[in-house]
Amino acid sequence: MKAVVLKFGGSTLKDRTDLENIKRIIETQQPFVLVVSAVNGVTDMLSSALNDIGNTDVDAFLSNLDSVYQHFLDKFSSSLHERVYAIENFLRGAKLIGEVPPFVYDYVISQGERCSSLLLTMYLNQEGIPCEEMLPETFGLVTDGTFGNATVNLKLTQTNVKKYFRENQNYVVPGFYGVHEGKVNVLGRGGSDYTATSLAYCLDAKSIKLYKDVPGFMSSDPKTVSTAKVIKQLSYAEAAELSYFGAKILHHASMEPAMKKNIPVYIYDVHTLMETKEANTVICANSCISDNVVKSISSTEDIAVIQFNGDNVGRVPGILGTIASAFAKENVNIKSVVTSQTSINVLVSKHDVPLCMHIIENMEIPQVQNIVYKTDISLIAAVGDGLLQHHSIAARIFSAVSKQKVNVEMISAGASDVTMYFIVRATDREKALKAIHEAFFGGE
């Protein structure tokens, strides 16, 4: 089925006119598989209700959620009302026991996508674009069973998709989640991108088009660097590394399915679609080394370093394995590891630090004499094909940072052919980003 896979994020679904825009964009791109996110703000609403379940007024909350979705239609829809209220028992049960089990959390927080897919299906059929809603639990978008941040099992999902999806048929699919043994698992924030690329893999789609309310990938975060420029072309590896190291344009795992089938990914800014039909950023297999070599400088503050110190920790076999194994059992992702004779530095998400502290309390490693937690830090990554083959790049980066009197606490290069990253204090993040961007892309 050589369909095109289209994905619309929640920020492109704010009011009724957005439905009209979606119709205008997709009506000439049939057959399509349309992946949709929750309406703008709904996932945050659901998350807030779950995180404060003891104080959540279930009736008021559901009434408010229903009004958000009914607002898009000319008249009341009982089908949409029933879809919204399908989570009522989950909310009441969680409120009764005073906590939200992981399987309940994932089911409820993904309800926004299910409501959006029904809304879009109803609207498009009403407007003369025949399409069918297809839910992940119906056709079997299979995950590894991890709650909160699941991985798609592409092989099993492809088998299921080929049984359910028909040639020349338009489909609307809710993004953000899959299923494992009957339970819903969400794919993490931005997971609808991952749904879209996974379906494209399963369908051997000719392209993936992601419609967002931002201008695609940029040379840095425009909120910090006002002179940031749009990047017209990226390789899969570059896009994956930028997403992993802080760029919030794409889900961090979304490039893998596209890369495996060599399916091009086009990112469009819905605000400029009427002016130009060109994609803002194209992601494909072709490597394109720019004059600067560095394509973008990204950063994240969701990073922490756990430093295991001891006279011989770097050379005693098994210590790193013990740490990694203990973290893996609790689903803590280790982002990177930097070692020396006297120190093992483990990089994790800042949000995982409390859990890591609990895990470490129950670990016995005689060689570790003390443990230091560094949380007031930022990670800055320079990404670009050919970066490690040009020796002057590192010098330019650290010269720019040095001129701003920014202290670099840790450096790593070589883990990826297209990335070099380093750690600075959180208070120096903005200064460092601006300095490096000016060195490679110029100032005002």
The share of the chain scoring above pLDDT 90, in percent, equals 71
**Judgement on whether residues 189 and 313 belong to the same structural domain of the protein:** no
**Judgement on whether residues 37 and 160 belong to the same structural domain of the protein:** yes
Per-residue pLDDT reduced to its tens digit, 270-322? 877 766 678 899 999 876 666 778 999 999 999 999 999 998 888 888 899 99
Q: Tell me what pLDDT residue 289 has.
A: 67
Report whether pLDDT(1) > 70: no
Burial class (CB in 10 A: 0-12, 13-18, 19+), 407: exposed
Mean pLDDT to the nearest integer, 250-269: 93
| 160 falls within a domain | yes
- CA atoms of 189 and 243, how far apart (whole Å): 12
Report whether pLDDT(377) > 80: yes
**Judgement on whether residues 39 and 172 belong to the same structural domain of the protein:** yes
Report whether pLDDT(385) > 90: no
Q: Tell me what pLDDT residue 439 has.
A: 92
Report CA-CA distances (Å) from 401 to 227, 405, 426, 433: 18, 7, 14, 8
| 35 falls within a domain | yes
**Judgement on whether residues 54 and 154 belong to the same structural domain of the protein:** yes
Residue at which a domain ends, from 181, 213, 245: 213
Q: Side-chain half-sphere of 280: how many Cα atoms within 13 Å?
A: 22
Residue at which a domain ends, from 183, 213, 243: 213
CATH of the domain at 205: 3.40.1160.10
The model's confidence at residue 70, banded by pLDDT at 50, 70 and 90, is very high
Q: Tell me what pLDDT residue 274 has.
A: 64
Per-residue pLDDT reduced to its tens digit, 73-107? 989 999 999 999 999 999 999 999 999 999 999 99
**Judgement on whether residues 199 and 70 belong to the same structural domain of the protein:** yes
Per-residue pLDDT reduced to its tens digit, 5-34? 999 988 889 989 999 999 999 999 999 999
CA 351 to chain centre: 16
Read off the amino acid at residue 229. K
**Judgement on whether residues 313 and 205 belong to the same structural domain of the protein:** no
Q: Tell me what pLDDT residue 346 has.
A: 94
- From the CB of residue 121, how many other CB atoms can be counted at a distance below 10 Å? 23
Phi, psi (rounded to 5 degrees) for 374 = -110, 110
**Judgement on whether residues 12 and 131 belong to the same structural domain of the protein:** yes
Q: Which residue in this structure is represented by tokens 């279930």?
A: 58
Report whether pLDDT(414) > 70: no
| 222 falls within a domain | no
Strand order in the sheet with 419-425: 296-300, 377-383, 419-425, 408-416
202, 142 Cβ separation under 8 angstroms: no
Residue at which a domain ends, from 213, 236, 271: 213
**What's the structural domain count of the chain?**
2
Report whether pLDDT(444) > 60: no
**Judgement on whether residues 205 and 63 belong to the same structural domain of the protein:** yes
Tokens of 375: 């949380």
CATH of the domain at 392: 3.30.2130.10
Mean pLDDT to the nearest integer, 246-259: 89
β-bridge partners, 425: 377
Q: Tell me what pLDDT residue 358 has.
A: 94
The distance in angstroms from the start CA to the end CA of the chain is 48
Q: Which residue in this structure is represented by tokens 């998350």?
A: 47
Q: How many helices (H) and strands (E) does the chain have?
A: 16, 18
**Judgement on whether residues 328 and 190 belong to the same structural domain of the protein:** no
Tokens of 432: 């460092």
| 255 falls within a domain | no
CA 399 to chain centre: 32
| 234 falls within a domain | no
User: Helix H segments across 42-147?
Assistant: 42-51, 58-70, 78-84, 88-97, 102-109, 111-126, 136-139
Query: Residue 98's domain spans which residues?
Result: 4-213
| 180 falls within a domain | yes
317, 268 Cβ separation under 8 angstroms: no
- CA atoms of 177 and 159, how far apart (whole Å): 18
**Judgement on whether residues 20 and 156 belong to the same structural domain of the protein:** yes
Mean pLDDT to the nearest integer, 337-356: 92
| 292 falls within a domain | no
Prior bond of 31 cis (ω within 30°): yes
| 257 falls within a domain | no
